[in-house]
Amino acid sequence: MPAYKDENKNTWFASFYYEDWTGERKRKVKRGFKTRREAKDWEQSFLENKAGTMEMTFAEFYDLYTEDMKPRLRHNTWCTKDHIVREKILPYFGKKRMCDIKTSDIIKWQNKLMVMKDDEGKFLYSKKYLKTIQAQFSAIMNHAVRLYNLKSNPIHAAGPIGGDERTVEMSIWTTDEYRAFSEAISDNIESFTAFEILYWSGLRLGEMLALTPADIDLENDMIDVNKSLQHLEGQIIVTPPKTKKGIRKVKIPHFLTREIEIFIKMQYGIMADNRIFRVSKSGLHLEMKRGCELSGVKRIRIHDLRHSHVSMLIEMGFTPVDIANRVGHENIDITMHYAHMFPHKQNEIVGKLELMNDWQEVV
C-alpha cells in the first residue's frame, strides 16, 4: 500500500487500482495529503468501504451511494435527493457507523423532525415532506442491504414518520373566487395570462413557465406539455416533466387560446423556442398575494390552482382516468386523493339509490 510524494507541491498522494461493485477495474487517485501516513490511511479507508464493510460511517457510505446512483438518476432528481440528505440526514447520522444505526436512533430522529417549528411557531415540515425525507433515507439503507451486506434496514421497524396517515386538507378556489382574483390582477397581462393557464388547464407551475410559442397549437386549441422549468443549484434549467405521464397534449378552451395568442403577439421578436413567460416563481407568488388582497378571496398556494382545476373536473362528472390523463398524474390513485373534497356526491348517490328502491316497490 504505497503512497507517493508530489515534489512540486511538497504533498503526498495515493494512487491504486480497485474493483467497483460491478467487477470493473478502476484507478483511484487522491492528492493533497500533508503526510505519507494520511495518504495510506485514506487508501485503507477507501478500500474497506469498497469491500462493503459496514464499519464505515454513514457519511462515508453516502459517498459510495453517490458514486453508485448519481449516474443513474436525472440531474434534477439527484439534486433534490442530495439536498435532503445533506440538510436533514447527514447532520444526525453522518458520523455514526452504518452497523451502529439502530431503530431507536431512527425514532429519535423522526421525533426531532416532527416537532421542529419556524419563527412563527408553525411546524416546519409538512406530513408529505416528512415522508419524502424518510423515503430518501430508507432508499440509502436499502442500497446498503442489497449490495453491501448491511443486515437489515432499521427504518422498516421504526415505521412511518408521524404515525398513521391523516387526510390532508386541500385549499381550492371555486370558479367565482378565481374570477374575482383574475379580475383583480388583470392590469398585469403577463401574470393574468399565466394564472389563466394554471387555472383552466391544470398545468404545473414549472410546466407553464417552460412553455414556448411552439408548444401552443393556436388552430386546435392545444398545449403540448413536454418540459418543465426548475431551479437547481442556483440556476434555472429546463428538464422533462415530473413524470412520463407528464408529457401530454392538453386541450384548452378557445378563450384561453386567444388570451395566450394576444400575450405572445405583445412580445416583440419572440422566437418559437423562446420561453413565453419571463416572470419568476417568486414574482407570481407576489402577484398571488396582491390579487388576494385586492379581491378579498382567501389565500391559497399557486399549486392549489391545479387542485382547483381537478376539483372542477370532478364536479363536472369526469372520471378519474379522464382527469389523470389531462393533468399528467402517474396513476389514478393520485387523482382519487381529491375525492374527499366532494362529500355532497354521497348525497347524490343516496338519492339515486332511493329512486331505485322506489322503482322496485312500484314494480
CA distance from start to end of the chain:
93
For the chain, list the domains and their CATH numbers. Answer: 4-158 (1.10.150.130), 175-341 (1.10.443.10)
| The pLDDT of residue 52 | 54
CB 298 within 8 A of CB 169: no
pLDDT for 195-238, tens place per residue?
999 999 999 999 999 999 999 999 999 999 999 988 776 778 88
A 10 A CB-CB count for 104 gives: 11
Q: What's the mean per-residue pLDDT of the chain?
A: 85
CA distance 152 to 99: 9
CB 184 within 8 A of CB 287: no
For 18, the 3-state DSSP assignment is: strand
Q: How far is CA 38 from the centre of its chain?
A: 41
Phi, psi of 304 (to 5 degrees): -70, -15
**How does strand 11-19 pair with strand 4-6?**
antiparallel
| The pLDDT of residue 165 | 46
Per-10-residue mean pLDDT, the chain, length 363: 83 81 75 89 74 78 91 85 93 93 93 83 82 93 89 90 54 92 96 97 94 96 92 78 84 95 94 94 94 94 91 82 83 60 56 60 45
Beta bridge partners of 123: 117
